[in-house]
Homo-oligomer: A and B are copies of this chain.
Amino acid sequence: MKQVFFRTDLAIEMQQWMTERDGQAPDGVKVRTKVGEFVQATEVSILTTQAEEAMGRKRGRYVTLEAPLLRQNHTECLEETGALLEEVLQDFLALERRETVLVVGLGNRFVTADALGPKVVEGIFVTRHLKDALPPELQGAVRPMAAIAPGVMGITGIETGETIRGVVEKIRPSRILVVDALAARKFSRVNATIQISDTGICPGSGVGNRRMELSRRTLGVPVIAIGVPTVVDAATLVWDALHLAGVKEGEGKEAAEEVLLPYAADLFVTPKEMDAALQRLSSTIAAAVNAAVHPKFRRQDQGRYFY
């Protein structure tokens, strides 16, 4: 059986690779696709322990929105993506009355390709601190929402998971939304894909290979993860180049790996236009989160409240 020689944080890439390798979908994995005008939504459900192991990720639902035009300033595509994302988030959050939502933006605000989480946090319409200070016309219009960007360990000296657990124990949210920049296998998915899952975040995922698991198991409440691949792993790129060229073991593959991989572990591949993409993606996600959580917030109001 062929070994996996690439890294991806996207369930859909793993599922497609396995299906291609085996000639059939993995057992215990259900796939549903919905094709829109500019966006294709695919739900990969991992249903069994066996599928969990084969896919290398947790049982649960992974919805992927794929929209190649997201890379550009394509108005209708952004609108369709935002609307779909709002819908998926409402479904995953399943909020009833006044549950408090905590948004956690992972990543390093000083590295463009890793700044998605902190940037989304800047656009969140926080209301938890207002409580009864809210003007009457906003009572019922908003739910309590809080947002933190805990930073990365190299800057704080603190394992991010510790900070988050500390805050969660204090404010006791009913749902946690974790936003993170991810690594894809394929260039074509970078900045053109949004993955939403109900399984939280696993160690080793994210641009910075986060070390903590953030999930219902570790935090005690449902954790929904929103991720966008902003990079390809440099090692994955090397493996893919060799693979596509038909290079096999014993044919120089080792030579190439020996030279390139020691460095590749500390590198990632990212688009030159990352700054513009970051703005577009973080704004679209923040607007969808605000609209999914606050009953009367409309996504088109995002531009009025923020930026």
* Residues of chain A whose beta carbon lies under 8 Å from any beta carbon of chain B: 73, 75, 78-79, 108, 110-114, 122-123, 126-130, 144-151, 153-159, 162-163, 165-171, 187-188, 190, 207-208, 232, 234, 237-238, 240-242, 244-247, 251-253, 255-256, 259-260, 263-264, 266-276, 279-280, 282-284, 287, 300-307
**A128, A129, A245, A273 pick with most chain B CB within 10 angstroms:** A245
A79 to chain B, nearest CB (A): 7
User: Bound state CA distance, A207 and B146, in angstroms?
Assistant: 22
A268/B270 in contact, CB under 8 A: yes
In the complex with contacts A112-B110, A156-B148, A304-B75 CB distance below 8 A: yes
A157/B126 in contact, CB under 8 A: yes
A-B contact pairs, 14 of them (CB 8 A): A129-B157, A129-B159, A146-B156, A146-B158, A149-B151, A158-B170, A166-B169, A234-B237, A241-B242, A244-B252, A244-B256, A245-B252, A279-B307, A284-B304
- Which B residue's beta carbon lies closest to that of A274? B111
- Which B residue's beta carbon lies closest to that of A130? B157
Partner of A307, one of B168, B244, B283: B283
A158/B148 in contact, CB under 8 A: yes
User: Bound state CA distance, A100 and B250, in angstroms?
Assistant: 51
A243 to chain B, nearest CB (A): 8
B306/A279 in contact, CB under 8 A: yes
- Which B residue's beta carbon lies closest to that of A148? B156
- Which B residue's beta carbon lies closest to that of A159? B129
A245/B234 in contact, CB under 8 A: no
Chain B residues with CB under 8 Å of A238's CB are 237, 241
**A126, A127, A155, A187 pick with most chain B CB within 10 angstroms:** A155
Partner of A275, one of B108, B237, B274, B300: B108
User: Bound state CA distance, A111 and B271, in angstroms?
Assistant: 10
Chain B residues with CB under 8 Å of A244's CB are 252, 255-256, 259-260
- Which B residue's beta carbon lies closest to that of A144? B157
Partner of A127, one of B110, B157, B252, B280: B157
B255/A245 in contact, CB under 8 A: yes
Partner of A256, one of B241, B263, B267, B274: B241
A268/B269 in contact, CB under 8 A: yes
Chain B residues with CB under 8 Å of A253's CB are 245
A68 to chain B, nearest CB (A): 12
User: Bound state CA distance, A162 and B166, in angstroms?
Assistant: 9
User: Bound state CA distance, A269 and B130, in angstroms?
Assistant: 27
User: Bound state CA distance, A197 and B258, in angstroms?
Assistant: 33
In the complex with contacts A75-B301, A237-B260, A245-B247 CB distance below 8 A: yes
Partner of A255, one of B169, B246, B276, B301: B246
A171/B158 in contact, CB under 8 A: yes
